[in-house]
Amino acid sequence: MPDGIIAINLKENELMINLDANRKTPLYQQLYEQIKQKIISGEYPKGTRLTSTRKQATDLCLGRNTVENAYDQLCVEGYIKSRQGSGYIVIDVTSALLELSGIVDVEPTTITASNSVYEEDLFQQNHFPSACRIAFRYGEMDYRTFPHTLWRKATAKVLSQTNLEDLYSYGDKQGEMPLRREITRYLRHARGVRCSPEQIVLGSGFQDLIRMICLLLKTDRATLAMEEPGYDFTRILFQHHGYAIAPVNVNSMGMDSAELQNSEASLAYVTPSYQLPMGVTMPIQQRMQILQWARKVDGTVIEDDYDSELRYRTQPIPSLQSIDKYERVIYLGTFSKAFAPGLRMGYMVLPSRLLPAYHQTFERYKSNVSRSMQFVAAEFMISGQWEKHLRKISLINKKKRDILVHTIQSEMSDRVTIHGQDAGLHILLELNTTKDNQHMVDLAAQHGVMVSSTQQFWYNRKNAINSMVMLGFGGLSGDEIVEGIKCLRHAWFD
């Protein structure tokens, strides 16, 4: 046993898993689900060591990859831990789960913050010299992957088959029902989100949805707890609507829940699937504690599930909303990352608890989203093209990510550390250098490469440290990525 922190009950061979090869769900996902259930039910208490992947594969007549995928997924979600030399061990999640079910009242565990913080200055795209050849710009996608022909066909179909009043009059302020039904269906099976179409509100992108939330939840001394570092545009939007900001440090598990307890806030904004910018995935324990906090303070958690469709190592992590039994979570999704920002479409799922206030506040408001566009998106989802597209771009982006990581490793070897490579459309590059960060960004620019500083992600800029740059790769081709990294090596280390 490599360390003595966790008492391990050796229960090898106790895993009796029934897998059904005829079911539509992939085998590794069935295995994952069954082990997860056993952990949640307490059948595998804290410290249980899972059967090794090798043995499990033999026992269940599965490929070893299948078992490894299942274990990987459980690791990422925080149900088990991998310990070198002693396999996979169950983490204590039952107490948190029980408290959430309202059975026991447990004091929240204090989590030691790693306080690994950095620094910088992103999104200054406009000030970037136009001579750049390669821009690792965040928030971009490769528009060549957009299913343009299919979209045109769907548009033509909608414009020829929908009656004029439905196309051109004011629509439902929440969005068109056919689209809301499709989003509900999609969210349920892809993100575990439980909701009815009545809880879905369409908006013309992130800012429109956040503005609605700002109006919906505004109180006299409204304070928003935000991840530190966190998405600066969220901060700007809430500040524009008169909210105070309470920064809460991000540790290796995402937002520090102990710090959150001590904040004045009763509203928190989190990115649990893939923390922006750090790329941390929030484990199940931490998710529980965030939800417990919300319940305790009668508060609300905004779960921004941006980039959730784009996970490379494991399946998308089930959403915070999916484990929320007390209607504390507002779930935010977008079509901008996986589909196209130019469509100006996003959605949120309101807890039923907030629906009366929503209807009262927005009684006179109209939807900001073009109606015909909504019908086209619905058509696209109904036809199955949406999920087909998601699978396609997930593969494409995984390939790009692989090229990016591989090129960085071969070009810069041990002079950098890569963070957040398991999901999304950006990575963070921690530079082993004493040079000033802005200097690194400038050096890159002089060599025709745009990378971004990350300083503006910190509410308290003094906490930002000077060793990290952000590279978005969604808008680049594989060749461009390779060229860009080679130029960066040249700029920084030659």
Name the residues that contact a second copy, by CB under 8 A: 123, 139-141, 143-144, 146, 148, 151-152, 155-156, 159-160, 164-171, 204-205, 207-208, 211, 215, 232-233, 236, 240-242, 336, 340-344, 361, 364-373
Q: How far is the CB of 178 from a second copy (least distance, A)?
A: 15
Question: Which pair of structure tokens corresponds to residue 289?
Answer: 């504690």
Omega cis (within 30) before 277: yes
Q: How far is the CB of 143 from a second copy (least distance, A)?
A: 4
Element (H, E) at 82: strand 80-83
Contact (Cβ atoms closer than 8 angstroms) between residue 226 and residue 269: yes
Of 249 and 456, which CB lies nearer to a second copy in the complex structure? Answer: 456
Q: How far is the CB of 131 from a second copy (least distance, A)?
A: 19
Q: How far is the CB of 312 from a second copy (least distance, A)?
A: 23
CA distance 406 to 295: 44
Q: How far is the CB of 196 from a second copy (least distance, A)?
A: 20
CA distance 422 to 402: 10
CA distance 323 to 321: 5
CA distance 196 to 184: 6
Q: How far is the CB of 335 from a second copy (least distance, A)?
A: 11
Question: Which pair of structure tokens corresponds to residue 349?
Answer: 């799922």
Strands 300-304 and 329-334: parallel
Of 233 and 312, which CB lies nearer to a second copy in the complex structure? Answer: 233
What is the widest separation between alpha-carbon atoms in the chain?
A: 71
Contact (Cβ atoms closer than 8 angstroms) between residue 481 and residue 471: no
Q: Please provide residue 488's backbone torsions phi and psi, each rounded to the nearest 5 degrees.
A: -65, -45
Of 9 and 370, which CB lies nearer to a second copy in the complex structure? Answer: 370
Of 114 and 124, which CB lies nearer to a second copy in the complex structure? Answer: 124
Of 94 and 207, which CB lies nearer to a second copy in the complex structure? Answer: 207
CA distance 269 to 303: 6
Of 127 and 462, which CB lies nearer to a second copy in the complex structure? Answer: 127
CA distance 493 to 290: 42
Q: How far is the CB of 177 from a second copy (least distance, A)?
A: 15
Q: How far is the CB of 208 from a second copy (least distance, A)?
A: 6
Of 97 and 376, which CB lies nearer to a second copy in the complex structure? Answer: 376
Amino acid at 130: S
Of 139 and 197, which CB lies nearer to a second copy in the complex structure? Answer: 139
Q: DSSP readout, 356-376?
A: HHHHHHTTT---SS-HHHHHH
Please count the other Cβ atoms lying within 10 Å of the Cβ belonging to residue 81: 16
Strands 300-304 and 267-270: parallel
Of 131 and 164, which CB lies nearer to a second copy in the complex structure? Answer: 164
Nearest to 340 by CA among 122, 148, 138, 73: 148
Q: How far is the CB of 267 from a second copy (least distance, A)?
A: 17
CA distances to 105, 157, 177 from 161, in Å: 56, 6, 17
Of 314 and 455, which CB lies nearer to a second copy in the complex structure? Answer: 455
Of 141 and 349, which CB lies nearer to a second copy in the complex structure? Answer: 141
CA distance 206 to 304: 9
Q: How far is the CB of 213 from a second copy (least distance, A)?
A: 13
Q: How far is the CB of 231 from a second copy (least distance, A)?
A: 10
Of 81 and 153, which CB lies nearer to a second copy in the complex structure? Answer: 153
Contact (Cβ atoms closer than 8 angstroms) between residue 248 and residue 459: no
Helix axes 385-412, 177-191, angle to 10 degrees: 50
Q: How far is the CB of 395 from a second copy (least distance, A)?
A: 19
CA distance 249 to 115: 7
Q: How far is the CB of 216 from a second copy (least distance, A)?
A: 10
Of 241 and 490, which CB lies nearer to a second copy in the complex structure? Answer: 241
CA distance 62 to 45: 25
Half-sphere exposure of 155 (CA within 13 A, CB side): 9
Angle 296-298-302 from CA coordinates, rounded to 5°? 105
Nearest to 212 by CA among 225, 224, 203: 203
